[in-house]
Amino acid sequence: MSGFAWGAFAVNLGWAAAASLAVMLVTFAIAVRRGLHRIVDAAWGIAFTAVAVASCVASAGEGDPGRRYLVTALTALWGLRLAGHIARRGRGHGEDPRYNHLLGKAPGSRNLYALRMVYLLQGALVWLVSLPVQAAQYMPGPMTAFAAAGTALVALGVCFEAVGDSQLARFKADPSHKGRIMDQGLWRYTRHPNYFGDFCVWWGLYLIACDSAGAAAATVVSPLGMSYLLIWGSGKRLLERHMAQRPGYAQYAARTSGFFPRRPR
């Protein structure tokens, strides 16, 4: 595909950064008022939605309307579902131990340290990871098989996340399961259905941007970066470090795939 609006896309990078920063600053203000920084986790999905909406508005008259609306709707579907799930899961709980540990090392003000090390960092990651969502809005031609494949992969990822989260919530709600490791449903096939779902979503959104070879080359860093975070960064690796000491987890890990779904050993 030719005719990608590189100049307009470059301007959009600024609008996307502003949208992500705005969400994080508002969230920071709320967190300081409540004394609870764990709410930033829910802002993650909201920030992606804000970037998609801002890019959709800014790209009016530049990109194909069908692709613009599609990529915005898919991003919002994923982001708002995730934000709602995290908000419900954290309701009534205190500060997340991860943030207590991180902010316990603050050299000065805990809140200013949180602003630098959590909110601004996450805002920058939102901007980086969302590059395919931004780029897809500026493609003028009709959608191709890449867009169809990407949409299917996003749908698979959202379903995988939603089903896995629902199964885990029902498992935890049963008092007879207290102290047990969840190994039912999708959790029989991968130890991290939600992270695998995220992986599918962001590679799917990237495929939609592949309708332009130049945009695909310029934005491939985004799904690669998200994959790194999910598998080797702050996702799977940190969670498994936390879970490693729980009774029965070693046996569960030995028979269950660490990321990509497969039949149990």
Residues 183-194 have pLDDT tens digits of 999 999 999 999
Give the number of other Cβ atoms within 10 Å of residue 76's Cβ: 18
Residues 6+ apart with CB under 8 A from 97: none
Going from N- to C-terminal start, the domains of the chain cover 6-255
Mean pLDDT, range 64-89, rounded to an integer: 96
**20-29, 89-98, 139-148: which has the minimum mean pLDDT?**
89-98
Mean pLDDT of 200-210: 97
- How many CB atoms neighbour CB 23 within 10 A? 24
- Can you list the alpha helix ranges (DSSP code H) found in 108-255? 110-114, 120-129, 131-136, 145-173, 193-209, 213-219, 221-231, 236-243, 249-255
> Please, how many CA atoms are within 13 Å of residue 229, restricted to the half-sphere of its CB?
14
Compute the average pLDDT of residues 139-151: 94
Give 179's pLDDT tier (boundaries 50, 70, 90). confident
Tokens for 219, please give them.
């934005």
Whether residue 29 is predicted with pLDDT greater than 90 in this model: the reply is yes
Query: At 244, is the pLDDT very low, low, confident or very high (cuts 50, 70, 90)?
Result: confident
- Token pair, residue 143, equals 């959608």
pLDDT of residue 1: 45
- CA–CA separation, 263 and 257 (whole Å): 8
Percent of the chain topping pLDDT 70: 99
Residues 6+ apart with CB under 8 A from 144: 1, 211
- Please state which of the ranges 36-50, 101-115, 159-173, 196-210 shows the lowest mean pLDDT: 101-115
